[in-house]
């Protein structure tokens, strides 16, 4: 396990995140009246460069679009767990839009949680949302809010300190928040796994897939780290005492996808931030592009192509039957209740293009990798650990999974590169 000096550096990345978000919010990239409470950012000197503001805009909006689709698809009868939540303010933003799920849980290291709790306690507009949220809409019973230095438990909102490298701790935190593992649950993980060694993040991903029946996972992280730009990013952070221990999962889309597919997940998709940015509502993109002049498009492109959002899902797999195929489609049927395969960043632009564009943007070996990955994913469903399809069989219609009674072939295109 990493030293506590290393842990402190990792915790301080939350300050960077919150200050950068506040920089962008102050300029009008998006609305967030709550972020100011968590930021020490004050003067114009701290103003972030335009490419960073655009980067945060794409990240915040990309995750938000995915999460909102999940919330709508489940009709809010769901739970959200934010891993390494830091000073994330989404709970309050969603409360303002009446989009709160049954449970909202935030986990992070103790010092980060401790600080967040102190701020929550001191701000009426944050506290009142914890008290106001009665999911059934009733107003007569004011729910209790239990506040301790390292955890808050209210009717919906929970925050608990947890070292995510320790799965026993994770399980006990989930228990303390009265999470029901049979209810559809979304996990958000923004820039967190990169600071954990690959074994720990894989263990956590596997534990989640074993504990929960219907899960949707949104992971924002580095990708394409196998080049010069990636090397420079690594050494800059290393010099600061903050090693990117999880970089092995961030070499390309195959390594990103494998973390999930090797740990029992049924379906996966993703795109680099350039694709996500182009997939966001373009009227809003045009609006934010007018906020600041950006002369270094090359730098923005470099940044965008080294970060990604990957989203994975797993449904309960009672009665799972897997048919891996050579030319014909491989089909997995499950009796899951909710089909998350249609939850994507922007259905019109992301699905096929996400894979296709990532292949185009990546190296030749990565092209093989993504194709192989899709093929492998089907065989991983039966835990064989080996691909039984011929290589490059993407045109053979390989499907990660479909749900019985809900077969919708338009969904298949999410997972096929042609
Ligand atoms: C870059 S910050 C991102 C914070 C937040 N997710 C966001 O997007 O604003 C990374 C966060 O992950 C947390 N983190 C990293 N490793 C962790 C671990 N092993 N256990 C708990 N939290 C961790 C850090 O403390 C920090 O708050």
pLDDT at 136: 53
pLDDT at 254: 96
Determine if ligand 1 sits within 6 Å of the CB of residue 189. Answer: no
Global confidence as pTM: 0.81
Is residue 76 exposed (0-12), middle (13-18) or buried (19+ Cβ within 10 Å)?
middle
> ∠ at Cα 269 (84, 312), nearest 5°?
45
Domain locations in the chain as residue ranges: 4-316
Q: Residue 112: which H helix or E strand, with range? A: helix 110-122
Q: Please identify, by atom number, the ligand 1 atom nearest to the C-alpha of residue 59.
A: 8
Q: Please identify, by atom number, the ligand 1 atom nearest to the C-alpha of residue 220.
A: 8
Report DSSP state, residue 82: E
Determine if ligand 1 sits within 6 Å of the CB of residue 108. Answer: yes
Cα separation, 331 vs 310, whole angstroms: 22
Whether the predicted pLDDT of 336 surpasses 90: no
The CA 356 to ligand 1 mean position distance, Å, reads: 31
The two structure tokens encoding residue 118: 């102190």
pLDDT at 44: 59
**By alpha-carbon position, which residue is closest to atom 24 of ligand 1?**
11
| Closest listed residue to residue 116, CA positions, set 140, 69, 84 | 84
Q: State the helix-helix crossing angle for 253-261 and 364-381, rounded to 10 degrees.
A: 10
Per-residue confidence at 84, pLDDT binned at 50, 70, 90?
Answer: very high
Q: What is the mean pLDDT of residues 178-191?
A: 96
Was domain 4-316 assigned CATH 3.40.50.150? Answer: yes
The CA 310 to ligand 1 mean position distance, Å, reads: 17
pLDDT at 334: 35
The CA 324 to ligand 1 mean position distance, Å, reads: 38
The two structure tokens encoding residue 116: 């967040």
Determine if ligand 1 sits within 6 Å of the CB of residue 379. Answer: no
Which 3 state secondary structure label does DSSP give 106? strand
Whether the predicted pLDDT of 287 surpasses 60: yes
Q: Which of 13-22, 27-36, 378-387 has the lowest mean pLDDT?
A: 378-387
The two structure tokens encoding residue 203: 């263990």
Is residue 262 exposed (0-12), middle (13-18) or buried (19+ Cβ within 10 Å)?
middle
Per-residue confidence at 340, pLDDT binned at 50, 70, 90?
Answer: low
Determine if ligand 1 sits within 6 Å of the CB of residue 190. Answer: yes
The CA 116 to ligand 1 mean position distance, Å, reads: 13
**By alpha-carbon position, which residue is closest to atom 12 of ligand 1?**
84
Cα separation, 396 vs 393, whole angstroms: 5
Which positions ≥6 away from 8 have C-beta within 8 Å?
Answer: 111
The CA 38 to ligand 1 mean position distance, Å, reads: 15
Whether the predicted pLDDT of 214 surpasses 70: yes
Q: What is the pLDDT of residues 92-123, one digit of tens each?
A: 999 999 999 999 999 999 999 999 999 999 99
pLDDT at 341: 65
Determine if ligand 1 sits within 6 Å of the CB of residue 188. Answer: no
The CA 214 to ligand 1 mean position distance, Å, reads: 24
The CA 194 to ligand 1 mean position distance, Å, reads: 9
> ∠ at Cα 270 (17, 298), nearest 5°?
60
Q: Are 180 and 79 in contact (CB under 8 A)?
A: yes
Determine if ligand 1 sits within 6 Å of the CB of residue 85. Answer: yes
Q: Residue 398: which H helix or E strand, with range? A: none
**By alpha-carbon position, which residue is closest to atom 23 of ligand 1?**
84
The CA 368 to ligand 1 mean position distance, Å, reads: 32
**Rounded-to-10 torsion of CA 230, 23, 96, 274:** -30
What percent of the chain is predicted at pLDDT more than 70? 71
The CA 77 to ligand 1 mean position distance, Å, reads: 26
The CA 258 to ligand 1 mean position distance, Å, reads: 22
Per-residue confidence at 342, pLDDT binned at 50, 70, 90?
Answer: low
Determine if ligand 1 sits within 6 Å of the CB of residue 256. Answer: no
The two structure tokens encoding residue 266: 């049924």
Whether the predicted pLDDT of 247 surpasses 80: yes
Determine if ligand 1 sits within 6 Å of the CB of residue 59. Answer: no
Q: Which long-range contacts (CB under 8 A, 24 or more apart) does 113-119 make?
A: 113/150, 113/151, 113/159, 113/160, 113/161, 114/149, 114/150, 114/161, 116/38, 116/86, 116/87, 116/159, 117/147, 117/148, 117/149, 117/150, 117/151, 117/152, 117/159, 119/37, 119/38, 119/87
Q: Residue 348: which H helix or E strand, with range? A: none
> 310 forms bridges with which residues in the sheet?
219, 270
Determine if ligand 1 sits within 6 Å of the CB of residue 17. Answer: yes
Q: Please identify, by atom number, the ligand 1 atom nearest to the C-alpha of residue 164.
A: 20
The CA 209 to ligand 1 mean position distance, Å, reads: 20
Whether the predicted pLDDT of 81 surpasses 60: yes
| Closest listed residue to residue 261, CA positions, set 303, 300, 313 | 313
Return the best residue to mutate from 67, 159, 192, 198 for the ligand 1 pocket (most ligand atoms within 8 A of CB): 192
Determine if ligand 1 sits within 6 Å of the CB of residue 10. Answer: yes
> ∠ at Cα 309 (95, 377), nearest 5°?
120
Determine if ligand 1 sits within 6 Å of the CB of residue 170. Answer: no
**By alpha-carbon position, which residue is closest to atom 8 of ligand 1?**
190
Q: What is the mean pLDDT of residues 264-269?
A: 88
């Amino acid at each position: 396990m990493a030293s506590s000096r290393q842990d402190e550096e990792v915790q301080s990345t939350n300050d960077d995140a919150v200050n950068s978000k506040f920089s962008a919010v102050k300029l009008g990239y998006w609305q967030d009246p709550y972020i100011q409470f968590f930021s020490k950012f004050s003067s114009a000197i701290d103003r972030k460069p335009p490419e960073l503001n655009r980067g945060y805009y794409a990240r915040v909006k990309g995750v938000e679009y995915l999460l909102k689709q999940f919330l709508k698809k489940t009709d809010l009868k769901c739970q959200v767990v934010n891993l390494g939540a830091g000073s994330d303010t989404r709970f309050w933003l969603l409360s303002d839009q009446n989009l709160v799920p049954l449970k909202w849980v935030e986990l992070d290291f103790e010092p980060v949680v401790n600080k967040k709790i102190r701020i929550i306690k001191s701000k009426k507009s944050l506290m009142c949302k914890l008290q106001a949220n009665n999911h059934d809409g009733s107003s007569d019973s004011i729910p209790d809010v239990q506040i301790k230095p390292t955890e808050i438990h209210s009717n919906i909102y929970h925050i608990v300190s947890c070292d995510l490298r320790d799965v026993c701790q994770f399980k006990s935190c989930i228990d303390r928040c009265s999470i029901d593992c049979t209810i559809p649950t979304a996990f958000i993980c923004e820039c967190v796994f990169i600071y954990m060694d690959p074994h720990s993040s894989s263990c956590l991903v596997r534990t989640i897939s074993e504990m929960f029946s219907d899960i949707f996972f949104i992971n924002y992280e580095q990708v394409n780290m196998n080049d010069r730009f990636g090397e420079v990013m690594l050494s800059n952070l290393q010099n600061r005492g903050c090693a990117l221990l999880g970089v092995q999962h961030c070499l390309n889309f195959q390594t990103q996808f494998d973390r999930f597919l090797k740990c029992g997940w049924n379906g996966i998709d993703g795109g680099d931030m350039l694709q996500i940015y182009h997939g966001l509502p373009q009227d809003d993109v045009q609006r934010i592009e007018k906020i600041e002049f950006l002369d270094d498009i090359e730098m923005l492109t470099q940044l965008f192509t080294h970060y990604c959002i990957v989203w994975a899902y797993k449904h309960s797999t009672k009665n799972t039957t897997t048919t891996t195929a050579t030319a014909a489609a491989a089909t997995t049927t499950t009796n899951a209740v909710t089909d998350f395969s249609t939850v994507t960043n922007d259905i019109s632009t992301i699905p096929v293009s996400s894979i296709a564009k990532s292949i185009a943007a990546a190296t030749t070996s990565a092209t093989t990798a993504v194709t192989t990955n899709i093929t492998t994913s089907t065989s991983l469903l039966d835990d064989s650990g080996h691909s039984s399809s011929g290589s490059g069989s993407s045109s053979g219609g390989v499907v990660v999974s479909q749900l019985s009674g809900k077969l919708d072939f338009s969904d298949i295109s999410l997972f096929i590169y042609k």
